[in-house]
């Protein structure tokens, strides 16, 4: 079935609304702004937050709908991409029809609605991955260079998604009647990167144990008393993805060897501007020609678990040890969202070092696209 444009599938009024909101300016926020605002809890502040989120989500979601309609190589017409577009349209429709937020009851009802929007979009990443997979099946000679335009779109699309989920999650979390100590919504004002790295590493190692029956050790070094403000769930996801790649590379390199698998080393360093987490493995490294590919989408050295059945299966059952080739590029986007970065340096025949840089300053505005 050929893809239809927004104006063909919706009422003219709704299509015009999407275009109108999609042309409006987005308003970026920094981690420090979210932390300072959320630290002063009051019903008035929750009302201000809800009004901001109500407006901002309409702008950001409308922009994504428009972009999803105009993708190159016919990607917009793929069934999985149409499904994602429909999720965004449903969310825009919900936000558009919600009346002005005037009091506490309005705010509480709005908060429940945006919680449902966040759930609706849970599977956007693997569903978009499936859409690109569908396109690549039609064009088997596609090289990753040919996907450069799609890659740039996906970078912007997923960065926007991180921002949307952060806005919703932060607003919802501010309603927690019993927040954890030193937590302001999603943000932990005294987060220990060493502790988060340890938990994420244990989770990644646990998956390796289930998949292979054994896993290399992981040694972590750093100041256990050092803390700084950050979003623990973001850091956990990034470290988990990087360590998962490392333990898999080491395990596959040494599982048929008489040698003991060398441990993965994680070093947490606290600088004046950045907190840097270095993850080093001896998993054989990546060829120099392959390094540019690791930050592109649907590049993986492992078997790809996505297939057409994903349209009717749960994300948790679709993606196991290897994932679907999005872990590294998505991790870099999470790092960049708050002003950090991710760099990969590899020695083919030996191993790989990943440098995860996190801004300590917390004053970087969201990179809006």
Q: What percent of the chain has pLDDT over 90?
A: 70
Residue in 60, 92, 90, 65 with CA at minimum distance from that of residue 3: 65
Contact by Cβ (8 Å): 337, 366: yes
What per-residue confidence (pLDDT) applies to 1? 42
Question: Which tens digit of pLDDT belongs to each residue from 326-344?
Answer: 889 999 999 999 999 999 9
Secondary structure, 3-state, 128-176: HHHHHHHHHHHCCCCCCCCCHHHHHHHHHHHHHHHHHHHHHHHHHHCCC
Predicted TM-score of the model (pTM): 0.90
What per-residue confidence (pLDDT) applies to 132? 86
**What's the DSSP call for residue 160?**
H
Question: Which tens digit of pLDDT belongs to each residue from 27-47?
Answer: 999 999 999 998 877 889 999
CA 78 – CA 242 distance, rounded (Å): 30
What per-residue confidence (pLDDT) applies to 137? 83
What per-residue confidence (pLDDT) applies to 364? 82
Residue in 156, 88, 140 with CA at minimum distance from that of residue 117: 88
Domains and CATH numbers, the chain: 13-181 (1.20.140.20), 192-359 (3.30.565.10)
What per-residue confidence (pLDDT) applies to 3? 47
What per-residue confidence (pLDDT) applies to 143? 66
Contact by Cβ (8 Å): 358, 270: no
Report the chain's mean pLDDT, rounded to a whole number: 88
pLDDT-derived band at 351 (thresholds 50, 70, 90) equals very high
Task: Give yes or no for residue 322 having a pLDDT over 50.
Answer: no
Question: Which tens digit of pLDDT belongs to each residue from 191-240?
Answer: 999 999 999 999 999 999 999 999 999 999 999 999 999 999 999 999 99
What per-residue confidence (pLDDT) applies to 369? 75
SS3 57: helix
């Amino acid at each position: 079935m050929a893809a239809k444009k927004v104006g063909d599938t919706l009422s003219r009024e709704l299509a015009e609304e999407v275009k109108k909101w999609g042309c409006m300016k987005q308003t970026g926020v920094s981690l420090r702004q979210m932390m300072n605002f959320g630290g002063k809890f009051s019903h008035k502040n929750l009302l201000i937050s809800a009004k901001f989120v109500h407006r901002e989500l309409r702008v950001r979601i409308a922009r994504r709908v428009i972009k999803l309609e105009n993708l190159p190589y016919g990607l917009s017409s793929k069934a999985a991409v149409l499904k994602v577009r429909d999720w965004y349209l449903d969310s825009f429709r919900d936000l558009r029809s919600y009346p002005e937020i005037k009091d506490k009851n309005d705010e509480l009802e709005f908060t429940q609605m945006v919680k449902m929007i966040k759930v609706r979009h849970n599977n956007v990443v693997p569903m978009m991955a499936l859409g690109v997979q569908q396109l690549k099946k039609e064009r088997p000679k596609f090289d990753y260079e040919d996907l450069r335009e799609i890659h740039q779109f996906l970078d912007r699309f997923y960065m926007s998604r991180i921002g949307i989920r952060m806005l919703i999650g932060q607003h919802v979390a501010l309603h927690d009647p019993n927040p954890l100590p030193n937590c302001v919504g999603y943000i932990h004002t005294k987060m220990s990167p060493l502790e988060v790295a340890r938990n994420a590493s244990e989770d990644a190692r646990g998956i390796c144990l289930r998949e292979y029956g054994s896993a290399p050790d992981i040694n972590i070094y750093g100041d256990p008393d050092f803390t700084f403000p950050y979003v623990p769930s973001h850091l956990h996801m990034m470290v988990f993805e990087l360590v998962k790649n490392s333990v898999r590379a080491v395990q596959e390199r040494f599982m048929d060897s008489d040698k003991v698998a060398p441990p993965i080393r994680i070093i947490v360093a606290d600088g004046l501007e950045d907190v840097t987490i270095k993850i080093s493995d001896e998993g054989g490294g990546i060829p120099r020609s392959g390094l540019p590919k690791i930050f592109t989408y649907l590049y993986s050295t492992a078997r790809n678990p996505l297939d057409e059945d994903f349209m009717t299966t749960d994300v948790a059952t679709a993606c196991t040890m290897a994932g679907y080739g999005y872990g590294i590029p998505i991790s870099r986007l999470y790092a960049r969202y708050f002003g950090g970065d991710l760099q990969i340096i590899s020695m083919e025949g030996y191993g790989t070092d990943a440098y995860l840089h996190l801004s300590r300053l917390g004053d970087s505005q969201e990179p809006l696209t």
